[in-house]
Structure 1
Amino acid sequence: MRYLHSQVARKGQYFEVRGDTLLVGFDASKATLTYGDKPFLCCDLQTPLQRLRNGVFGIKIRSPNLSNAVLTLHVTNVEPRGEAFRYRGSEQFILADEDVALPTQAGLDIERIALPFAAGSSETRTVSIFRGAACKQTIANCTVVYMADGQSLQRLLLAAWRNGRRLADLVFVGVHNADTGGSNRRIAELLRVSEEPDFELFKAFVFGTVRDRVESGQAPRKRYAGGMSNGGAWALSMLAEQPDLFDGAIVMSPAIWHEPASMEVAGKALIIGAGLLEDGMLRQAQKIAGLCSDKGASVAAIYPPSGHSMNSWVNIWIGALKALEH
């Protein structure tokens, strides 16, 4: 660690990938910790840094996937934070774009609306709808993708457009997080792990109010559910519970999910993936891929060399939209 300490002393923070090893160092003597007692590394890799000496913290991480990884890293609980470290070790995978503005050249009509969430409630929920050029008058020949991650959808679409994916015959529907309730509300709405009504209320909103607005009684060519993390588990639940409604699902880094007593996915399309630098969610994705394949689904698995972040999800998403072109 002597080399790492000397680099931090000169630069304040230091990141380097050497083969299968990542070196990280940070001078906390010139920064303020906003929480905890150690600087914390985020986000494709997540771990506290270890105290070295004289206010310098660092860590050495080894993984067989690091040399080809796509990484965005920063020390998250300090002020000032410092610049993020972005690393692309493979031309096969991309780094997620930092900007989110979708240009008109992408050819998508964009509608952002607030819809009433539930009967008897004054709550509304923001929904973003992106219609490809061939889907502006009719959706009969279009595929509609319902996403539980509306706040991230534009960023995914920007990456897809920049990397040559065809969007003309697709409609993307993104339901945003609630304005109140934070992460606990999101978990309750997207994971079927409790008896609370939030999951069913959210499901009824998406496939009642939102679907009526998007489809107006006209069936599309195909329907997919999609999402990442908790949203990935939700997308899989929608496919498993409503096989008559969905033709497939795009499942990215799925969180906690339990196989239902009855699950008919034969002939359905499952595009699933997780980052190779994830742990539990990578194993979860691999387990689900095997389960659905055994049940007769057509499974395409995509495992980018990244973590639980947009760097993994944009690569899975681009692969998923490529699969939808066939």
Structure 2
Amino acid sequence: MTGQITRETAGGEETEHWPAVTAVVPTRDRPELVTRAVRSVLAQDYPGEIECIVVFDQSDPHEIAVPESAGRSLRVLSNERTPGLAGARNSGIIAASGEIIGHCDDDDEWLPGKLRSQLELWRTVPDAPVVATGLVVRGENGDHPRPAPARASFADFLGSRIMEIHSSNLLVRRADLLDRIGLVDEQLPNSFGEDYEWLLRAARYGDVHCVREPYAVINWNRPSFYEGRWLAMVAGLSYILDRYPEFASAPRGRARIEGQIAFAAAALGNRADAVRWAWRALRHDPRQLRALAALAVAARLVSPARLVRIVQSKGRGL
């Protein structure tokens, strides 16, 4: 099977072949952050070749100053596909030369040892469609380590977003992205939840296996393009619910998404929609806290910004 560490015999000696990896880094108007992300990718202590492709989305490309070294290369290109994160990711995937594709968002970082540990795990589970790692959420009040589960199934992803399995710590074979699993969905409104939708698709082909230790830093101590974009949340999550009828058999997972939609509607001031979605969520899971939070925001008992700050201070997402 391609995309694995293999052993080759040359001149009577056995050597290991480590597959080439392409890291796709989508970016938009964040020059300092993207430079940090690229450095973390190219500094990996990985025996194989690493190609880093930076895709500029809705912004002008510029050179990125990083030190050159053997077996490491950097390319810069523009997103020529659908504007947004999904199109930018796909632009990089299509242009990639590596057998293995990884992503690193421009505001995140890879920690030393990430690629080596993932490929070593993959050698033991060669049929896994995706290999991930744990992560560290870095917020204003410090770091929050989040070890990943050893494995996660399609049913697990229906029940939970599993925040520890993140776009910035995934590895997948390029051949699978171009064939059975498919590219990132560019029809998803505003690309909101594009990594979750793709993981649901990928997990239909087998469990996601993880190196449990954190090997990626997810930075929340910076402005996010999605911060406050409640309309994007409503449209993106509604799309995912419609696309996956299997949520009907996972009431707690469905309630989680309905609660998120309710909260976003409440943050927009759409009280009727917020109440409607909140009661849907509570019917599926009476303990769904997002739905209760949405009702509190709709009743103007608390501001959505305050609740988001409280949740993120604990290294959690809404």
Fold shared per TM-score above 0.5:
no
Higher relative contact order (CA 8 A, sep 6+): 2
Which structure has the bigger radius of gyration? 1
| Larger proportion of strand | 1
| Larger proportion of helix | 2
